[in-house]
Structure 1
Amino acid sequence: MEILLPRYLQQRRRRWYAVLDIPKTLRPQFGDKPRFVQSLETESISVAERRVLSVVASWKVRLEAARTGKPEPSVDLAQVALDWREALDAAPDTDTRDRYELILSDKADKAEEKREGAGVELFKVATRQWLETGEMVEDWLQTLDNEPKTIDMKRSDLKRFSERFRLTLHVERKAVQRWVDHLRSQEHLKLPTIRRIISACRGYWSYLQRLDYVPDDAEPFRDVVPRPAKKSKRDIAERRQPFSDSDVVRLLNASVAQKDENLARLIWFGMWTGCRIEELCALRVTDVSLDRFQINDAKSEAGWREVPIHSTLAPALERMCAESTDGYVLSGLTENKYQDRSNAVGKRFGRLKTRLGFGSSHVFHSIRKTVTTQLDAAGIPEAVSARIVGHDIPTLTYGVYSGGAPFEVKRDAIMVLSYPLQELDQPASFGST
């Protein structure tokens, strides 16, 4: 006996029924029943095949509404089309597929009677003549070697893209340009965000071209986003600014006053090294030695480096390593879903600096700028400073051919860092005096 979709059709006492399993996590919302079951009111397999997909599609809409908490939309022909595509792909032979296509054609005619163009879309999506824009997104994402957070961001960008353009045949340059204009004027997205979205779309589109799902000569994303303009006075004013030396001490005192030990240690660690917050939070005890520590998981090649330990930092750093309970220098930090240990403590720093009156141009990275400002003011050569804080060195001589500054040179350079420690409320807690 030929059965269309074993998962969806079931015969009981000669009558055909539509069936669909309910995921265990959603069953409480449906009276704990394990599956949907509905009689198709027929003993004919051909009639059952015509009726089952629309029934199952309506159930899937209910499940999605239960999963997301959003109201149930009307049954979407797109889901019906994908169900039919699955049926056509599963057809055991050519004769069966031809029979399915006749049934599909009949259903498409009825859809066309209700809304012009709906039947054509149903038939062509089901028979793979047209592609749903978002249906290959997960396959593409699996080919990428990005961090989980970046993958999630691209997934979000492409969800926005596929909601705007349900079918790839609608993705044309003028339409994309109108979408970009909409993102700017109606959704008020900034140009860097739009460039990121279009970049993800361009990468995904290239993947579809390699698989011959879209034409090779189609360039719907070419020049749709304005090029970066020359920075205005406002842009320059809003750029991240360094904290003054006294401001860093104020932040430190405030973190101690609110008894946030990890935040105080983070600030103390950052002000004597110029390291990024992610580097400090990810540093392991095993990467610290007597007079230096190694950054082995930086965001760029230049960031992988050896950092001298300032003599004022050394006592507190030694104590942090000795007291660690989890192998990290900054012990006890929580992780987010991307295993990022800097997220929560970074937010606490943001609330702290806002409470002290600092705006968006001052962030934890501003302490890094404080360090580089001090190195610059002391006349430390840029190549040496870059080796300490992990900046790229653009020149061919130093950036490509140089083996790096000797450790002694970097140690002497970092020793120029100084702060008004007499302003510390509890200097002994950091081992500075």
Structure 2
Amino acid sequence: MALSSDRMFLELHGNQWRVVVNVPKKLHTKLGTKLKKPLGTDSLKEANRLKWDVIAELKATIARAENPSLSLEAARSMSREQAMQQAIRFAEQRKGAFDPVRRDEIDEEIDWKTESLAGRPTATDEEGNEVFDPDRLRLATDFSQLARGDKTPIDLHHKKFLAMSHVKARTLADDRRAIKLLKDWCNKVGVPPYLQAITKKEAVRFCDELPNFTANLTPVTLNKYVSRLSVYWTWLENRHEVESNIWQGRRLREPQQTTDQKERPFTDDEVKVLLNGPAEPEMDDLMRIAALSGARLDAIVCLKVKDCRNDGVFVFKPQKKEPGPRLCPIHPDLIEIIERRKKGKAPDDDIFPEWPGVKKSDSLRERSFKTSNEFTAYRRSVGVEDRREGKRRGLVNFHSFRRWFITKAEQAGQPESTIAVVVGHKRQGMTFGVYSGGPLLEQARECVQSVKLPTLRDGAAVYGKSD
């Protein structure tokens, strides 16, 4: 059916058309089942041109009935949002209309809606030109440009982009923050928040002004947001929504760190202090697994019984950009810990039930969030700390166990490529697959076993605390 003969929201009353809008069931007692208003014309074409203003008015009435405290201005604002959503639908229809006749029909409907939003002239100027209400004229102009594809809101396709992204919830949150940051900046500096207005020049300006616009965020964090904008623009470019990725290569300059300012591995003495201190049993087990596997905190905390295989292999869940689960041989000094924690449990039970993770289903925090806080408190309580002036984070943290493991494996003469396999770093060449045997697994096992914990106290065994 052609758009010009569309009867949506219209019905004949006698020989003239009127607008009919359904009322939500919960408001029937207050407004009845339908709101109706005559248009005073018997022409369907003219009724389609006139109906949009009336529809907005009736929907504003419904909105105010649903929320009596809602001001008329707020109700009209909701109508504006509805108009913009309709413009988006027109833009999608127009983009998919390859038949010139169909395209003309859509354009005619857009013109009718635009005229309706602009309303009737409020006056004439000295030269006899019609003058329109400025707010309504602005709405009509925005509607027309959006419906015809001349302006595309920055975030129009962002929801679809997020739905198609295979990233962690925290990264999705970064995507949303990045878009909000860009929109807020546009509003502050007067750049129209449309894809067409964000040129390479504006992207450079955005990056230049970002530190002053967000004084509480570090260059590292801001570069993360710029990077997420770049990923979104690449996605848009692949769908021909933009001509190019104007964020490619854009980065804020990060302060250069000297060697003594970079986060570092624990020293052997610090490892001794940590493993010889008054840690709770679960914390002691956790630290030993970290030191003798090089695994990240969240991967360890999320281990299940079935992930600690009987053939002496950990199956760590994917971390960072790892494409899938990663195998890591279990160090001989960890076997007692693993067997003790597996005893009497089902395959899907947790190895570390002491840290069940956050309870809120919509939380962006990793399961290990509380574990990390507890470790930090313990580490500081035994005096393992390295703070530098001007740095928000200390130079040692739980990840320092991972750095310590890598350092010890290197010092034991293990090949860099094998260490990369064990800890899950990006590696060129052969891939350590999901096999339970073979030379790669044996090389990885040799690498893991080359790392030894420092003697803890008075000649005590490498594993276990002295009484």
TM-score, length basis structure 1 = 0.72
Aligned to 2:54: 51
Given residue 231 of structure 2, which amino acid in structure 1 is its aligned partner?
G
Q: Secondary structure at the match of 1:422?
A: coil
Alignment of 1:373 with 2:394, yes or no, is no
The number of residue pairs the alignment matches comes to 399
Alignment of 1:346 with 2:368, yes or no, is no
Alignment of structure 1 residues 215-294 onto 2, 5 Å: 216=243, 218-226=244-252, 231-233=256-258, 236-252=259-275, 256=279, 259=280, 261-289=281-309, 292-294=312-314
* C-alpha distance in 1 between matches for 2:357 and 2:37: 56
Alignment of 1:190 with 2:211, yes or no, is no
Aligned to 1:173: 200
Alignment of structure 1 residues 32-431 onto 2, 5 Å: 42-44=37-39, 46=47, 49-53=52-56, 56=59, 75=77, 79-85=81-87, 98=108, 101-108=111-118, 113-115=133-135, 117-163=138-184, 164=186, 166-188=193-215, 189-214=217-242, 216=243, 218-226=244-252, 231-233=256-258, 236-252=259-275, 256=279, 259=280, 261-289=281-309, 292-299=312-319, 300=322, 304-311=326-333, 313-324=334-345, 326-336=348-358, 337=361, 340-356=366-382, 358=385, 359=387, 360=393, 361-393=395-427, 407=442, 410-411=445-446, 414=449, 416-422=451-457
Deviation at 1:320, TM superposition (A): 0.7
Aligned to 2:189: none
Q: Structure 1, residues 150-202: CA drift from partner, whole Å, max 9, x if none?
A: 23322332233345352222212222222222221220333333333233323
Q: Structure 1, residues 321-373: CA drift from partner, whole Å, max 9, x if none?
A: 11546523223432344694323312322343345552422111101122233
Given residue 284 of structure 1, which amino acid in structure 2 is its aligned partner?
K
The 1:126–1:406 alpha-carbon spacing in structure 2 relative to 1, beyond 3 Å, is closer
The 1:416–1:213 alpha-carbon spacing in structure 2 relative to 1, beyond 3 Å, is closer
* C-alpha distance in 2 between matches for 1:364 and 1:307: 21
Aligned partners of 1:157 and 1:200 also within 8 Å: yes
Deviation at 1:40, TM superposition (A): 6.8
Aligned partners of 2:297 and 2:399 also within 8 Å: yes
* C-alpha distance in 1 between matches for 2:165 and 2:83: 29
Deviation at 1:204, TM superposition (A): 2.4
* C-alpha distance in 1 between matches for 2:257 and 2:29: 61
Given residue 211 of structure 2, which amino acid in structure 1 is its aligned partner?
R
The 1:83–1:355 alpha-carbon spacing in structure 2 relative to 1, beyond 3 Å, is same
Aligned-residue Cα RMSD (Å) equals 4.7
* C-alpha distance in 1 between matches for 2:325 and 2:179: 31
Percent same amino acid at aligned positions?
Answer: 15
Deviates more, 1:35-44 or 1:342-351: 35-44
Q: Secondary structure at the match of 1:294?
A: strand
* C-alpha distance in 2 between matches for 1:90 and 1:61: 31
Q: Structure 1, residues 2-37: CA drift from partner, whole Å, max 9, x if none?
A: 65459xx9x9xx986655659xxxxxxxxx869995
* C-alpha distance in 1 between matches for 2:222 and 2:232: 15
Deviation at 1:126, TM superposition (A): 3.6
Aligned to 1:28: none
* C-alpha distance in 1 between matches for 2:305 and 2:144: 62
Aligned to 1:69: none
The 1:61–1:340 alpha-carbon spacing in structure 2 relative to 1, beyond 3 Å, is farther
The 1:178–1:381 alpha-carbon spacing in structure 2 relative to 1, beyond 3 Å, is closer
* C-alpha distance in 2 between matches for 1:207 and 1:265: 44
Aligned to 2:124: none
* C-alpha distance in 2 between matches for 1:287 and 1:172: 49
Deviation at 1:423, TM superposition (A): 7.8
Deviation at 1:306, TM superposition (A): 3.1
Deviation at 1:125, TM superposition (A): 1.6
The 1:276–1:180 alpha-carbon spacing in structure 2 relative to 1, beyond 3 Å, is same
Q: Secondary structure at the match of 2:155?
A: coil
Given residue 50 of structure 1, which amino acid in structure 2 is its aligned partner?
D
* C-alpha distance in 2 between matches for 1:113 and 1:100: 19
The 1:137–1:239 alpha-carbon spacing in structure 2 relative to 1, beyond 3 Å, is same
* C-alpha distance in 1 between matches for 2:430 and 2:89: 63
Any unmatched runs of 5+ in structure 2? 41-46, 95-101, 121-130, 187-191, 388-392
Q: Secondary structure at the match of 1:42?
A: strand
Any unmatched runs of 5+ in structure 1? 23-31, 67-71
* C-alpha distance in 1 between matches for 2:375 and 2:62: 47
The 1:183–1:388 alpha-carbon spacing in structure 2 relative to 1, beyond 3 Å, is same
Given residue 351 of structure 2, which amino acid in structure 1 is its aligned partner?
V
Given residue 265 of structure 1, which amino acid in structure 2 is its aligned partner?
D
* C-alpha distance in 2 between matches for 1:382 and 1:87: 55
* C-alpha distance in 1 between matches for 2:140 and 2:365: 47
Given residue 327 of structure 1, which amino acid in structure 2 is its aligned partner?
D
The 1:309–1:81 alpha-carbon spacing in structure 2 relative to 1, beyond 3 Å, is same
Bigger radius of gyration: 2
Deviation at 1:134, TM superposition (A): 0.9
The 1:3–1:409 alpha-carbon spacing in structure 2 relative to 1, beyond 3 Å, is closer
